[in-house]
Amino acid sequence: MQKRNKNVVMIMCDSMQWHYLGCYGGKIKTPNFDRLAREGVVLDNVYSEGLPTIPVRRALFTGRYTLPYRGWSPLELDDTTIADILWRYSTYSALITDTSVMHLPKYGYQRGFDYVFNLRGHDDDNHYYADDPLYHLKMEDYHKPSYRTDENGEKVEEMWSVFSKDEMKGYLAQRQYWKTDADQNVAQIAKQSIRFLEEADRNKPFFLWIDSFDPHEPWDAPSVYDPDLKCPYDPDYDGKEIWNPVSTYADNVYTDREMEHIRALYAEKITNVDKWLGKVLDRIRDLGLERDTMVVLMSDHGEPLGNEEHGHGIVRKCRPWPYEELVHVPMIVKAEGLEAGTRKSALVQNIDITPTMMEWMNIPQEAWADMQGKSLWPLLKGEVEDIRDFLITGFFGQSWSLITKDWSYIHWLNPVALENSEAGGKTMFEVFDIQEGEVSEGVADTQTMFDRIRKQQENQWTCVPGSLTEVPEKDGLYSRSNDPFQLKNVIEKNPEVARELYDKLREYMLELKAESVYSDI
């Protein structure tokens, strides 16, 4: 009997909070993701380890941890990726994406894929349209600035507010011609993915990685541009449509009512993502690919969206805080042989999905033996109840967290190791933006400047403009059953538990040979 081809469609949705989805108890409309949940296996306790976007892609591409070793950085020659492995085993690999940071110069995250489609213009690539003429939209209709008083007593716009406004120049130039949800980025990604599925060679197995940057900010959902639509989750709102908020503390800029609407736009964006990626799921079925195709739906991380459980006070990923709203991610797996409509409460690290996909595709184990992820197949098939006793998560050089079934513990690394915000924000672009002979203010010569920027890039932990390496003064201990969103630190009431978890975290990081400039590990 001829060996069956085994395919994978991995659907990555950036910045999608798990508990917004209907199948995770959310109250917004996600009918297609909910349908996938009824047909597949829902994993309830999946956590990303190294954050945010780029470290997660590196971890998933390689099946290996990033948190102990490096942060926001390019792929290296020593990194063996899914695409590298599949090339050897005659599998056609494709990457369809609008996740701009995967397309950064010299970053290499498209390396090895046989086919790549890259849609330009999303966040971190907003400069692509920034010089285009703007005729039909006005900045002041969507941007609420944040101000401070300077040393002369003058009212000036804060740096991170200016950053947000600069981002919007490119967005507005592109979006001035958007009319319906079919114009949104996720719609373009879905259409390209469907085209790939229709044209794929049925004589060979394929691996399709769909990387939708939506619902990542900006949260300009369809109702923003269609005068006949109201936001379905906040139809009575009559204020400014703030869809690219300033990355700072919510209370510094926005009223509670404005934050409520920002979250409603985010929710509407997720519903639109569900609609268009649902068309991809439909096409898999229509083409008769379901039997031989594993479908994985997941996110890289969530998103801070205001006070309390929404974001611990911040908007966007502007602090290296690995709280629940950011690190807990959805994951649904559908494949032949799995019992439909089941849920698993086991602790799962995001890198565990990588060897799981390799095993489904019948790739010899020696080809992925170096992966640190654990195959989920025994769990998915009901052969075991658990595969891990604990998980790790955090930001390289900033924070480490350990998660068990009962507790979550956050250890803040030495806050003086990075004295300012230079390692946050968009330092990844600076080397490419500097002209020959140009010297930044306060720097003696070009070589010193280049060395300084490269050092910043080595420590980079986020791409969000205006980010600060600010962390709380004390570590955090939280009960997962009584306080799932980590709002009440009980470390002082449970010092023995905290010490046990700290020791376990420290021991595991040392076992992984974590790189650190800190003396307290």
Establish whether the linkage from the previous residue to 105 is cis, with ω within 30° of 0: no
Res 518: pLDDT: 47
Res 448: pLDDT: 57
Res 432: pLDDT: 40
Q: Tell me if 38 sits within 8 A of 343, measured CB to CB.
A: no
In CATH, 7-393 is 3.30.200.20: no
Q: What is the number of other CB atoms lying within 10 angstroms of the CB of residue 489?
A: 16
Amino acid at 384: V
Distance CA 334, CA 329 (A): 17
Distance CA 114, CA 267 (A): 34
Structure tokens at 287: 């083409």
Q: Among 268, 365, 310, which Cα is nearest to 485's? A: 310
Burial 412-428 (b: 16+ CB within 10 A, else e): bbebeebeebbbbbbbb
Res 420: pLDDT: 36
Amino acid at 229: L
Which residues partner with 13 through β-bridges? 212, 299
- In this prediction, the residues of the chain whose per-residue pLDDT falls under 50 are 1, 416-443, 446, 449-450, 453, 517-519
Res 458: pLDDT: 57
Structure tokens at 515: 């790189």
Distance CA 139, CA 314 (A): 23
Q: Tell me if 356 sits within 8 A of 333, measured CB to CB.
A: yes
Residue 219 CB contacts under 8 Å (≥ 6 apart), including other chains = 243, 244, 262, 265, 266, 268, 269
Q: What is the number of other CB atoms lying within 10 angstroms of the CB of residue 209?
A: 25
Distance CA 68, CA 513 (A): 7
Read off the DSSP letter of residue 267.
H
Q: Where in the chain is the domain with CATH 3.40.720.10?
A: 7-393
Question: Tokens 């538990």 map to which residue?
Answer: 497
Res 440: pLDDT: 41
Surface-to-core class of residue 447, CB atoms within 10 Å of its CB (0-12 exposed, 13-18 middle, 19+ buried)? exposed
